[in-house]
Structure 1
Amino acid sequence: MIDPAHKQLVKSLRSAAEQLTENRSIRDLETTVSKLVHAAVDTVPGAVGGGISRTEQGTVRSSHATDDVIYELDQLQSELGEGPCITAADDPPAAGVVLAQDLARADGDRWPRFAPRCVATGFRSIMSVQLSLHGRRRSALNLYSHEAGVYDGSAELTAGLFAVQAATLLHGADHAADLGQAVASRDVIGQAKGILMERFTVDDDEAFQMLVDASQDTNVKLVEVARFLTAEARDRRIGSGPRRPDQRDR
């Protein structure tokens, strides 16, 4: 006979997988990650709250937290530079799971500044599962519990399965965001080339080379040069405004 908890796990993971294939925007992906975190909290025995910690260039931020207290605890770890979430994201054990069974006792010695402040908010144990190892962004799924010693091997396995789904979703969101930025950069460069082609009667290649030369001469990224040029052209149009019929060339 199938364990009801396992049935709920399969149902939650299937739902997340279905939403992943249906998503069409970054906002959809982010919403799905949030739902996945809530599903993990509902499914893992003992968990009462959760969130995701993400590190990039030494900065840690909390996302998709189930409530404000969890968000603040994740952020606190970032401010202190210590805690299960940071260890799981940046320096996890081989299994990728950092388990703090009782922050009020022995586990508190591992994170002496964070542990007492976490316990003061009513949380005794945290399980953090690493979501990614590669790339500039690293992250971990964090599950908080009021009880000490609540997480066993089954809980670790369940959290690990949710972590796989969350990692896939976050990768999709990051990829979509990077692609969106690339498309936006291409569009603004195209607009800038059009302005130069009209203003100086040059062709596409010559306009692009003008942008490249300006970028190299000023040590400013090409896309930023393009943004400056398009903004300048827009301001010029706004400043001049449409001419009245009696102002037009005769």
Structure 2
Amino acid sequence: MELRELIAVMTDVAETLQLPIDLTDALAVITRSAAESVPGVDHVSISVTARNHQIQTLAPTDPVAVRADELQYTLREGPCYEAVHGRPVVQVDDLATDPRWPSYGAQAACLFGLGSQLAFQFEAAPHVRGALNLYFDRPSAIDPETRQFGMMFARLVALALGWARQGETMTRALQSRTTIGQAVGILMERYRLDDDRAFSFLVRLSQSTNVKLHDVAAGIITDTVNHAG
């Protein structure tokens, strides 16, 4: 990436980090920018853990990132899980053959077509710790530039979470994730779509109407409930 392109990306991200910060929007900009800017990256997500130690996914760029995250939470193994619980940086060059996480690696490669993975731990404010997760469809897709850019975006995540008001804002972000998931499920059933296409449909609808993704999702849920009644 050229310097002018990097400056443009950082300007886009910086514009979301204005007080009062909208955490959901800020994190979505960061993950989307990472997916577009970090060399070789195909899917991005953020994992956060709070006082109850439960891990949840925020601002995923697509359903593949969500499914890979949740598989690691379920198995309690994998780069994301390890970064959240202690290691600053976890790199996997070939998920299918890496012996460190035999259950997760084999399933991630077989079920989701993932080849490589990189996770960066971050800490933001008391009791908030997590990881920025970068997923690659190709094995051996990670180089020094990838690590450097990934670390930069992980710091932006920590900055956004640190600036946000911890209690109410974090709660809103987690609720937004749930609302979007419910709307995706409705679209899947209504139009007989798989989750990738349903998620993409939701994103396109948000962009075309210039309405926040959470608000579009909430509208779909409300409309469904009203028609059911």
1:7 aligns with 2:4: yes
Residue 71 to residue 180, structure 1, CA distance change in 2 (3 Å): closer
Q: Tell me, which stretches of 5 or more residues in structure 2 are unaligned? A: 173-229
In 2, distance between residues paired with 1:179 and 1:37? 17
Counterpart residue number, 2:180: none
SS of equivalent to 2:105: helix
In 1, distance between residues paired with 2:118 and 2:155? 15
Residue 97 to residue 10, structure 1, CA distance change in 2 (3 Å): farther
Query: Which residue identity lines up with residue 102 of structure 1 in the other structure?
Result: D
Spell out, residue by residue over 1:196-228, the C-alpha distance to the aligned partner (whole angstroms, 9 max, x if none).
xxxxxxxxxxxxxxxxxxxxxxxxxxxxxxxxx
Larger Rg: 1
Aligned 8 A contact 1:65 1:71 in 2:
yes
Aligned 8 A contact 1:13 1:165 in 2:
no
Counterpart residue number, 1:60: 55
In 2, distance between residues paired with 1:41 and 1:84? 18
Q: 1:19 aligns with which of 5, 16, 19?
A: 16
Aligned 8 A contact 2:91 2:118 in 1:
yes
1:116 aligns with 2:120: no
Spell out, residue by residue over 1:91-145, the C-alpha distance to the aligned partner (whole angstroms, 9 max, x if none).
11xxx2211111112x2x1111111110011001111111217632211100100
SS of equivalent to 2:102: coil
Aligned 8 A contact 2:114 2:137 in 1:
yes
Structure 1 vs Structure 2 CA RMSD: 2.2
1:47 aligns with 2:41: yes
In 2, distance between residues paired with 1:62 and 1:16? 20
1:84 aligns with 2:96: no
Q: Pairwise mapping of residues 67-78 of structure 1 onto structure 2 (< 5 A)?
A: 67-78=62-73
Aligned 8 A contact 2:118 2:135 in 1:
yes
Query: Which residue identity lines up with residue 104 of structure 1 in the other structure?
Result: A
> How far is 1:13 from its partner?
1.6
In 2, distance between residues paired with 1:112 and 1:180? 34
In 2, distance between residues paired with 1:162 and 1:128? 11
Query: Which residue identity lines up with residue 153 of structure 1 in the other structure?
Result: P
In 1, distance between residues paired with 2:12 and 2:170? 26
Instruction: Give the structure-1-normalised TM-score.
Output: 0.63
Moved over 3 A (4+): 178-181
In 2, distance between residues paired with 1:13 and 1:116? 35
> How far is 1:62 from its partner?
1.1
1:170 aligns with 2:161: yes
Aligned 8 A contact 1:99 1:127 in 2:
yes
Counterpart residue number, 1:152: 143
Query: Which residue identity lines up with residue 116 of structure 1 in the other structure?
Result: A
Aligned 8 A contact 1:125 1:150 in 2:
yes
Counterpart residue number, 2:25: 31
Counterpart residue number, 1:130: 121
Aligned 8 A contact 2:124 2:162 in 1:
no
Instruction: Give the structure-2-normalised TM-score.
Output: 0.68
